């Protein structure tokens, strides 16, 4: 049983005009097995929340705390956060030329597990996970994210989630740029990995479409750098109908 505890998190980013406050006090607790949808208009700070928890150097924490099972996440380096059990599926996964997917996955698994996976079981493990996501085995020999379609990039993110088995996964706009078929495959992948590993999920999205496939236990509406309303899955239906207008004008 794991718990990610975000308290009064305040984050700024430096711009040409100086420091700009993005998050203005975020409180959120995610436990194993729970799915929390973070919904909000563009520019409300959803992705900033994801990236500051993962430790992107662009963001400066100006207040608050993030704890994972009692350990201070904000004191950890980026790789330490992953080793502690955090995973961020990125909206725009980065290309790494010349580094093959298989080498990347194995290096990451070695780092996360603390020892190199046994070659024989590892090959089978990767193949199985790729098959489950409808990924061509030839994929493993391509350079990380280079020349991948939008759908391939997102599947590759979920493949990593499956192999690295985090405690808490943050999915940042995983639905963006996916057609219906790809969305279904990726969502099924998320559900499968979540159920078999009892992962807590923070699902960041602008649209309610993905919530038809991944059922949230909680929905949080994000606006102007904080959570402005919370509820169950029914809150998503309301957003589907009425949009974010009332939160933006408020």
Partner 1 sequence: MTLNSNLLAPHTPTSREELWRFTPLAKLRGLHDLDVALSSRVSLGTSQTQAGVTLTIVDSLDAPQTSTTDDLVSMRVRELATKVLRVEISANTEVSAPIFLTRSVESLDPEVSRTEIRLGANSRATIVVENIGSMTLAEEIEIHLETGSNLTFVSLQEWENDAVHLGHHHAIIGKDATFTSTVITLGGTLVRLLPTVEYAGAGASAELSGIYFATSGQHLEHRIHVDHNLAHAKSRVNYKGALSGDKARTVWFGDVYIRANAEGTDTYEVNRNLLLSDGARADSVPNLEIETGEIVGAGHASTTGRFDDEQLFYLESRGIPANIARQLVIRGFFLEIVSKLGLPEIEERVMNRIEAELEKASV
Task: Report the interface residues with partner 1, using CB under 8 A.
Answer: 54-57, 77-79, 81-83, 87-88, 90, 93-99, 103-104, 107-108, 111-112, 143-144, 160, 164
Closer of 55 and 216 to partner 1 (Cβ): 55
**Cα angle 122-174-148, degrees, rounded to a multiple of 5:** 65
Closer of 52 and 208 to partner 1 (Cβ): 52
What's 116's DSSP letter?
P
Closer of 1 and 94 to partner 1 (Cβ): 94
Q: Shortest gap between Cβ of 114 and partner 1 (angstroms)?
A: 10
Q: Shortest gap between Cβ of 54 and partner 1 (angstroms)?
A: 5
Distance CA 134, CA 186 (A): 9
E strand intervals along 86-146: 86-89, 96-100, 143-144
Distance CA 59, CA 44 (A): 15
What's 115's DSSP letter?
S
Closer of 88 and 227 to partner 1 (Cβ): 88
Distance CA 216, CA 198 (A): 14
Phi and psi at residue 179, in whole multiples of 5°?
-80, 175
Closer of 77 and 249 to partner 1 (Cβ): 77
Closer of 87 and 247 to partner 1 (Cβ): 87
DSSP, residue by residue, 98-109: EEEHHHHHHHHH
Closer of 135 and 211 to partner 1 (Cβ): 135
Let me know: does 33 contact 20? Beta carbons within 8 Å: no
Radius of gyration of the chain (CA): 18
Q: Shortest gap between Cβ of 110 and partner 1 (angstroms)?
A: 9
23 Cβ contact partners less than 8 Å away, ≥ 6 residues apart: 9, 10, 11, 45, 48, 49, 52, 225, 226
Q: Shortest gap between Cβ of 175 and partner 1 (angstroms)?
A: 20
Q: Shortest gap between Cβ of 223 and partner 1 (angstroms)?
A: 27
């Amino acid at each position: 049983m794991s718990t990610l505890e975000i308290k009064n998190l305040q984050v700024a980013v430096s711009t040409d005009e100086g420091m700009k406050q993005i998050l203005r006090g975020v409180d959120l607790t995610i436990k194993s097995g729970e799915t929390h949808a973070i919904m909000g208009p563009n520019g409300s700070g959803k992705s900033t929340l994801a990236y500051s928890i993962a430790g992107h150097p662009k963001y400066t924490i100006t207040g608050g705390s993030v704890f994972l099972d009692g350990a201070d996440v904000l004191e950890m380096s980026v790789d330490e956060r992953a080793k502690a059990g955090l995973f961020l599926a990125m909206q725009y996964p980065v290309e790494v030329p010349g580094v093959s997917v298989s080498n990347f996955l194995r290096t990451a698994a070695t780092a996360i597990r603390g020892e190199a996976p046994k070659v024989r079981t590892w090959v089978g493990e990767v193949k199985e996970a790729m098959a489950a996501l409808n990924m061509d085995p030839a994929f493993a020999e391509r350079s990380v994210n280079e020349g991948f379609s939008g759908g391939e990039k997102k599947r590759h993110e979920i493949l990593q989630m499956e192999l690295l088995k985090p405690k808490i996964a943050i999915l940042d706009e995983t639905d963006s740029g996916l057609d219906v078929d790809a969305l279904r495959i990726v969502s099924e992948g998320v559900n499968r990995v979540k159920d078999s590993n009892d992962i807590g999920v923070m699902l960041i999205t602008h649209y309610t479409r993905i919530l038809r496939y991944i059922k949230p236990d909680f929905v949080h509406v994000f606006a102007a750098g904080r959570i402005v309303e919370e509820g169950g899955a029914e809150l998503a239906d309301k957003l589907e109908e009425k949009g974010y207008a009332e939160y933006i004008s408020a």
